[in-house]
Structure 1
Amino acid sequence: MSRTQGTILVLDIGRNVSVVGEKEEKSFFQSARECAARIIERKILSQGKNLIGIILVGSNTTDNNLAKQFDGAFKRIQVLDMVTPTWQMIRQLPEQPTNTKGDWFEALIVAADYYKNVLSGVKLETKQIILLTNFKKSVSLDPENIEEVLNGFTDEGYEVSVIGPDIESKQFQDNESVQLVKQFIDSTGGVTSTIENIMKYDLLFHRKKLVKGTPWNVDLSIGPNIKIPVSAYVRTRDEPAVKGWVKSVKDPVTGKSSIYESVTKTKEYINEETGQAVDAADKVAGHLYGQKIIPLGDFDNNLLYQSGVKSLTVYGFTSADNIQWQNLNGDGLSYVFGRKGDKKAQKVIRCLVECLHELNLVCIVRKVYNNNNLPKLNVLMPVIDTNNYVCLSMIGLCYKDEIKQMSFPTTNLKKYKCSEEQVDAFKDLISAMDLTDAYDDTFDDTEAFPVAECVSPSVQYVLDCIAFRALNPDQPLPKPREEIMTLFKVPPLLQEKARKPLEKLKSLFTLTKVEVKKRHNKNLMDIDQVPNPNLQTDDPVTPNIPKVHMPAKEQIVDGIKSISTINPIEDFKALQSQNKDLSELTTGMIKAIESLILNNIDGKYNKALDAMKHLRMELVKTDPTDYNNWIKKLKTDLTACGKTEVFNQIVENQVSFILKTENSLSTYEDEHSHEESQLFENDTIPNSTELTISSDVLNMFDD
């Protein structure tokens, strides 16, 4: 059965949503656009099977199926096709409202028609319509049409929800449009909320998509004859923030990424002794024993350990007190129930759970997830929830070599004994910092950081960074937003409650700072402490020691010692202002430019081209010989390393050779004549001569 969720956002962009209220910081259009963008963003990052469409009410253009069928009706309503949500969909949302007005009631009918006629071939589990408007535009009402439309929405299973102003307030009691939309909400099972509330609560954090648990079906074996059909469901598990990354390859020339290209990878087997590649058919499997590789033949493979088929076997029972938190391992917790549809298995599991709970015992089991997988040790513990379920919880156990024993000094000593007043002070602090009573009546829930509802700050920040980078590819990543940093803070009410208990604790416990003494290695001798027999300490005059002339400290201009690749032009100007030699500056500038070109990985050479342009302008005024010789050498180097496109950019930006028309000292008349001479020189250089010499002769010269 398909699990695809369908959502159509009906966004009002007309003149009625463009006005900014007296007590408001921004218009309803701006708030509604942010809300729509956040909804699309959540749909993208949830990685669920979602289809989302957008209908613009009050648009300057009319583009919908019903407007084509009925002339003069359903105007100023534009439908954007329903597709899988993308970042481009957020970028295409209108930036400014229009000067026209649209009918939101007609937009609902257009959305229903799109589901029924345009998207009729797609099976959707839910068909949701979210309306974002402020209801300041009156709609044409016909009681007969309204009743017919309501029945059609109910029969087709559409769910209408409204995000906008508080329609339950007094100012909307006499509004016919609001009374109409309430009928849609009640008849279709939708909900209503203000933009402030939905942005503050529902869309504040990224939520995981709700998925139906997939059971792990296996037989719970107890002894040789008892096998109980059970199903294990994952309760909690450590998962990455985003699963299923789509890899893309970045073109170094254009700087764009593509998911349709890939990097070709080859796998070779190298003989360590000869250093030559070996055919994959000639390799022999082996096992690393210490530092020696033991080859395994076909007969030896049959002697290897085999874990067997998928199983869940009970080794025995032990007291629950023997299982401490430091003994637990694994990547999550699972709940084990009797197999669905097997009433006998469910009854047996319930009896087993009640017996384990009454006797304070747990099961030690051997788990093999699939055939010939690595076996793991697990513990089954009873879970009795009178309101929901009775089952077994399963979690991994550590082996002996995985447990790290740490010894701590005993605290059952007289000097560590606390008085009753000190113990009561700590009890008062614990009572004052009770997280279940962390907020006052202004909040919906008084509990802070509730179990199974508190989100991970690191996951939230990673998802925020992904969304920001998708919409702002050239800007640096932002810091974590205030809502995420709040997860690290103690609630203000608890801080106020804990102030007096903390002051009392400070008065009852006198803490002395322990200074850790630095350890000195006595084997190392300080050369300054060794007495020098040649020095006469009684003589106040400095002994006659030959003077050593140390090099003078190089003067740094404004903190600049040489031309760097960060700001080459600024460094060049700063050093030039101190009357530095132009030839020395040219050499430093050339090194910086070559580093920017040859070590470039993103394919952008703007900084290098700007530096070349500045250097060329300076050398056009004097002697261009050094610049032309360098350009000639640079072209040869770029051709050798396969970066010929860089030289094409140099020619296009007119920063290549300095011509004779620009400076009389130049030997280059025009670019075309230089290209011909350069090609002739490259063809006549005997670069391939080395290939004709025998390798024995070359080895002789090497020796």
Structure 2
Amino acid sequence: MAPTKVDQATIIILDVGRKVSVPEEKNGQSFFEKGRECAGRIIERKIISQGKNLLGILLLGSKTTKNNLAEQAPGTCKNIEMLTELQTPSWSMIRSLPTEPSKSKGNWFDALLVAAEHIKNGVFSTKIAQKKIILMTNFIVPCDTDEKQIKQAISGFQEEGFEVDVIGPDIYSEENKNYDIELARLFVEETKGATATFDYTMRYLLFHKKKATNAVPWNVDLSIGPNIKIPVSAYIRIKDEPVVKKWNKAIRNPVTNTASSSEGVKKDKIHINTEDQTTVTSDNVINGYEYGQQIIPFSDCDKSMLYDPGQKSLKVYGFTKASNITWQNLNGDGLSYVFGRKHNKKAQYALRCLVECLLELDLVGIVRRVYNNGNAPKMYALMPVIDTSNFVCLSMVGICYKDEIKNMAFPVTNLKKYTCTDEQVDCFKELIKAMDLTNAYDESEFDDTEAFPIAKMVSPSAQYILDCIAYRAMHPGKPLPQPRDDIMMLFKIPPLIEKKSRDVIEKLKKSFVLNKVEVKKRDKKQVQAMDIDDYCQQNQPSTSFDITNDIPKIDLNSFKKSESVVRIGTINAVSDYEALKQEGKTVADLSSQMCDAIESMIFGNLDGNFSRALDAMMHFRNECIKSEPNLYNNWLKTFVLELADRKRNNVIEMINAQNVNYILQSENSLSTIKSHSDDSQLYETDTVPELTDVQISSEVNDLFDNM
């Protein structure tokens, strides 16, 4: 049987003896409390990373003695307990850590020997790539070991490939100088280990780290035409992945209130005929797809008619100018780097020539990619990349299809009312300089002055999700906490940036005078209610006694419609427009009302007669020709796109036929459109249906056959 491969085997030696229980003066925590917290974070990091690691916990200065060396030679390695043997890290390891220190003391040198012996002989049929021992003690208790034994132990550690790390005291500080610390420093240096204080280690463990994995290449031939094939390898550089890919789910037993990963909820899938609520067997069911409100059966014989994308391939369809590929055309599914095949010098040379040619000619390759046999094809852009360190490759990014791009029309901003003064432009330049993230911190206090560096920032949402997983594992019955301050700091502006930009923002407020825009609401005409019984009584002959003295009489003439026009309506839009124009309102003031009236007449039309709407459009167009043609053109551009989205192609044809299209420069020099072909091109609005897998009874299939 082949041995199991493990990336790393680590044993944490935690000092829980008498000399580590005294609180320090700085924050009131003892060495034991800091060590326990640090050990818990190390275990948590290894659990969430889900790497191929083994972890064990060794207690130094414990009440009992439990280790292999003490069993082999009684009287040695006292007060050293193997709390957890080497195994896959789990949450129970954190729960098993002692909550209080003991009154015993142990030898840290003996603990190193016990840990080394357990890594060497404690796990069978396992090939360990890296062996690490993490020692957490304050070295107050002397080891009482001569120099000869120390050198012999270091030699053995070097032969077996052990690495010793010391966390806790600063072993290179002038204040911490004694014989034991010098010996510990010797272990760290000779085994090529590392050392750090608790504060530095906790800052390093502040955020969860992603598991390090080796890049797996996607090997394929880059085909250019029928004769050129270059063996290449594509490596994923950026990929949008879920925070937690695979996680063991547990089902909680409501009786025992315990979670089990070996139990689950049993689910049965049955097919029911909705007409008579009877169960249909799987033999009488065929697959189908839902297209809108119509169900289309899809039998096994139809599978032969499916589109076959072909075998795994990467074919160049052609080349285009780099300016044609903008960020709006990229789908953002990920980024891959394409290199020449490893150990193939001809392929590497050919790819380098291709990269240099694309860069020199300012071109980009358009390729069709089929990841594997039977997978759907996708289109990608191949862009040249040449790094300063002789790093030559092609970057491969996905391209959006036409139906994935949403066209958005924005109003023009090159108008006089949008122009800025030189003073306002200078204010914006000062603000950009003040908010320079490369100089966000003081050089005297920080080594790196850049804030939010690219490719170094962690995701706040991912960190919070992993925090919630760790909290739920340790506190099953408690509600999830709010994001910790370390995560919320990622959303805050650096203090130096905020200080620099404060004065500039105040200057901007003075340069730009903002006027509050009041949105005028439509006046709702309130008609007084009338009692028809009272009206009938008033028109009846008088009786012997009059009861109408206490009832107010209603004058029907007061309910006549007012002749003054307040807003352009849909009944007679042209006359309303002219009436408001006579009151002194300009075309710019009435354009929004006229556009709303035209849209209401078209979208709310039920009889298919658009004559009144087209007459209003013609009148509005003629008015804009005299003054501001862009008012009509900008509205028509947005209106036509909305008509296309609503499948109102008949209205678009009427607009083109009735000569109410865009205003050209030949009609008014202020227009930005030279000819109708510049801006009036209509695009197809075919959409690809979203196919939903459903089960269709054979009776429904027979119904389609009869049709």
* TM-score with structure 1 setting the length: 0.73
Instruction: Specify the SS of the correspondent of 1:109.
Output: helix
Instruction: Specify the SS of the correspondent of 1:170.
Output: coil
Confirm or deny that 1:421 pairs with 2:423: yes
For 1:35 and 1:404, the matched residues in 2 are separated by 51
Structure 1 match to 2:643: none
Confirm or deny that 1:501 pairs with 2:472: no
Give the alignment of 1:603-682 within 5 angstroms: none
For 1:484 and 1:270, the matched residues in 2 are separated by 50
Select which of 232, 238, 241 maps to 2:240: 238
Deviation at 1:354, TM superposition (A): 1.5
Select which of 462, 467, 473 maps to 1:464: 467
* Aligned AA (2:43): I
* Aligned AA (1:459): A
Select which of 180, 185, 189 maps to 1:182: 185
For 1:33 and 1:227, the matched residues in 2 are separated by 59
Instruction: Specify the SS of the correspondent of 2:131.
Output: strand
Q: Could you report, residue by residue, the CA deviation over 1:258-308 in whole angstroms, capped at 9, with x for unpaired residues?
A: 111122222223344454333323333445555444445555432321111
* Aligned AA (1:92): S
Confirm or deny that 1:157 pairs with 2:148: no
Deviation at 1:425, TM superposition (A): 1.4
Confirm or deny that 1:256 pairs with 2:258: yes
Select which of 306, 325, 345 maps to 2:347: 345
Structure 2 match to 1:359: 361
Confirm or deny that 1:481 pairs with 2:480: no
* Aligned AA (1:33): R
Contact 2:86 2:122 in 1 (8 A): no
Deviation at 1:161, TM superposition (A): 0.9
Confirm or deny that 1:57 pairs with 2:60: yes
Confirm or deny that 1:143 pairs with 2:147: yes
For 1:274 and 1:475, the matched residues in 2 are separated by 47
Deviation at 1:70, TM superposition (A): 1.9
Select which of 322, 333, 336 maps to 1:334: 336
Confirm or deny that 1:6 pairs with 2:9: yes
Instruction: Specify the SS of the correspondent of 1:284.
Output: strand
Question: Paired residues, what number?
Answer: 535
Q: Could you report, residue by residue, the CA deviation over 1:76-123 in whole angstroms, capped at 9, with x for unpaired residues?
A: 111121111111110110001111111111111111111112225321
Select which of 306, 310, 313 maps to 1:311: 313
For 1:445 and 1:105, the matched residues in 2 are separated by 39
Confirm or deny that 1:512 pairs with 2:511: no
Confirm or deny that 1:75 pairs with 2:74: no
Higher relative contact order (CA 8 A, sep 6+): 2
Structure 2 match to 1:443: 446
Instruction: Specify the SS of the correspondent of 2:472.
Output: helix
Structure 2 match to 1:656: none
Confirm or deny that 1:228 pairs with 2:227: no
Structure 1 match to 2:112: 108
When residues 166 and 517 of structure 1 are mapped into structure 2, their CA distance, relative to the original with a 3 A threshold, is farther
Contact 2:86 2:119 in 1 (8 A): no
Select which of 123, 129, 140 maps to 1:125: 129
For 2:436 and 2:247, the matched residues in 1 are separated by 41
Q: Could you report, residue by residue, the CA deviation over 1:26-67 in whole angstroms, capped at 9, with x for unpaired residues?
A: 101101100000110111111111111001000011111111
Structure 2 match to 1:302: 304
When residues 510 and 269 of structure 1 are mapped into structure 2, their CA distance, relative to the original with a 3 A threshold, is same
What RMSD over aligned residues (CA atoms) do the two structures have, in Å? 2.3
For 1:388 and 1:272, the matched residues in 2 are separated by 67
Structure 1 match to 2:38: 35
Structure 2 match to 1:372: 374
Structure 1 match to 2:138: 134
Deviation at 1:4, TM superposition (A): 2.8
Structure 1 match to 2:395: 393
For 1:388 and 1:140, the matched residues in 2 are separated by 56
Query: Where does the alignment leave 5 or more consecutive residues of structure 2 unmatched?
Result: 536-546, 553-707
For 2:468 and 2:299, the matched residues in 1 are separated by 51
* TM-score with structure 2 setting the length: 0.72
Instruction: Specify the SS of the correspondent of 1:426.
Output: helix
For 2:245 and 2:66, the matched residues in 1 are separated by 37
Instruction: Specify the SS of the correspondent of 1:465.
Output: helix
For 1:12 and 1:487, the matched residues in 2 are separated by 35
Structure 1 match to 2:670: none
For 1:423 and 1:459, the matched residues in 2 are separated by 39
When residues 298 and 67 of structure 1 are mapped into structure 2, their CA distance, relative to the original with a 3 A threshold, is closer
Structure 2 match to 1:406: 408
Structure 1 match to 2:383: 381
Q: Could you report, residue by residue, the CA deviation over 1:336-378 in whole angstroms, capped at 9, with x for unpaired residues?
A: 1111111111111111112112221111111111111111111
Query: Where does the alignment leave 5 or more consecutive residues of structure 1 unmatched?
Result: 545-703
Structure 1 match to 2:596: none
Deviation at 1:317, TM superposition (A): 0.6
For 2:211 and 2:521, the matched residues in 1 are separated by 54
* Aligned AA (1:168): Y
* Aligned AA (2:87): V
Q: Identical aligned pairs, as a percentage?
A: 57
For 1:296 and 1:326, the matched residues in 2 are separated by 36
Contact 2:6 2:126 in 1 (8 A): no
Contact 2:5 2:126 in 1 (8 A): no
Instruction: Specify the SS of the correspondent of 2:118.
Output: helix
Confirm or deny that 1:85 pairs with 2:89: yes
For 2:301 and 2:97, the matched residues in 1 are separated by 67
* Aligned AA (2:473): A
When residues 260 and 296 of structure 1 are mapped into structure 2, their CA distance, relative to the original with a 3 A threshold, is closer
Q: Which moved more, 1:62-71 or 1:413-422?
A: 413-422
When residues 417 and 61 of structure 1 are mapped into structure 2, their CA distance, relative to the original with a 3 A threshold, is same
* Aligned AA (1:449): F
